[in-house]
Amino acid sequence: MKSVVDRIKTLVELRDQGSISKEEFDQMLELLEQELHRENKDASALNADRAPQNIEPSGKRKTVLLVSAAGVLVLFVLSFFTMVPAFLWDSDGDGFHNYRNDNCPAVSGTCQGCLDSDNDGFADSEDECPMESSKTCKGCPDRDNDGVADKADSCLNEPGSSSCSGCPDRDSDGVSDSLDQCPEEKGSANFHGCSKERMVELERKKLEQGLAIKAPPSCKATAGEHWIRFVNGHYEFSKFETKGFKDVKSNQTVQELNAYFELKGTLKPKPIIVKPEPKPKPMGKGLTHAEQAELNGLIEIEKNGGLLTASQKKRMKTLEMKRHTYVD
């Protein structure tokens, strides 16, 4: 059967392995200590029985008994400090019991036996700001005492919510007041802190004023487009808030947007293109039909032996020269 000391060592190993809880460890250790104490008492009684009986006069008998009692006491003290060091030692000398309350038995420290460089009550191993003394936020400063450490607080001087990076959130909907379009009404992040109905109402008013808004996610036809506006009864999309807008060309998209915003938008009509009257095509190499007929008539007069006037000859020469140049 294992000795009490061996059982104490086994108990410590079980605790270090996490096989038993701290409460179970303390209870079982107390029972083992009581058992060890009983063993020491039994050993002391046995030593007393083995002590030589003295039948001398009473004075000498008292002396022998005192010597025997002193020996038993010394034996008990020696056994107490040498046989059960497992629950007495403070190996790092920091005042914390190795197996009871020293979380770092190999290192001398002030925080349950562990190092605490800034003396704020958080051990360095658990202190998220080991060089800054603070009693809150796992050892990190919290200027506005809102439970959000300064290093993660986007509103250092305003107490806020941990769900909003330390910024105020009056309606507790997870959207900070600075980004919440309905700061007094609880909504959702998908609708900028408003309910869907309230958000649609606000966006419809902006569209009616000609302002651009973010395109609704439910409208599949707007995929890739980020902004939308409503101008003269027609929808326009753009990837930018103030430029690059183009007309919606799908009737399905118009119907989806009308249903979402409860508007009566229409497709923008296509512009009517008026084609110009076709110009008369030139005859020959550069004459119109009329000019060609005029030239043919002058040539016919000469063939028939007729005489051309000076103005006719000049005209005929002009037309013959024009035949060699293209005229539109």
Taking only the tens of pLDDT, the chain with its 328 residues reads 567 777 777 877 777 777 778 778 788 878 877 777 777 766 666 655 555 554 445 555 555 455 566 555 655 554 544 444 544 566 667 677 766 677 787 777 777 778 888 888 888 878 888 888 888 888 899 888 888 998 888 998 889 888 888 899 999 898 998 888 899 889 888 888 898 889 889 989 999 999 998 887 666 555 556 888 999 999 998 888 888 898 888 888 888 889 888 899 998 888 888 888 766 555 555 778 888 888 888 888 888 888 888 898 898 888 888 776 555 4
- pLDDT at site 13: 78
Q: Quick count: other Cβ atoms within 10 Å of Cβ 186?
A: 17
- pLDDT at site 87: 47
3-state secondary structure of 123: coil
- pLDDT at site 222: 58
Phi, psi of 196 (to 5 degrees): -60, -45
- pLDDT at site 72: 57
Tokens of 91: 């190996």
- pLDDT at site 209: 92
Question: Can you tell me the distance from the alpha carbon of 140 to that of 127, in angstroms, rounded to the nearest whole number?
Answer: 8
* DSSP-derived secondary structure for 73-90: HHHHHHHHHHT-GGGT--
Tokens of 309: 């006037």
What's the one-letter identity of residue 188? S
- pLDDT at site 234: 92
- pLDDT at site 221: 57
Cβ atoms of 131 and 117 within 8 Å: the answer is: yes
- Which of 259, 263, 181 has its CA nearest to residue 220? 259
Phi, psi of 5 (to 5 degrees): -60, -45
- pLDDT at site 128: 83
Question: Can you tell me the distance from the alpha carbon of 267 to that of 130, in angstroms, rounded to the nearest whole number?
Answer: 64
Cβ atoms of 28 and 11 within 8 Å: the answer is: yes
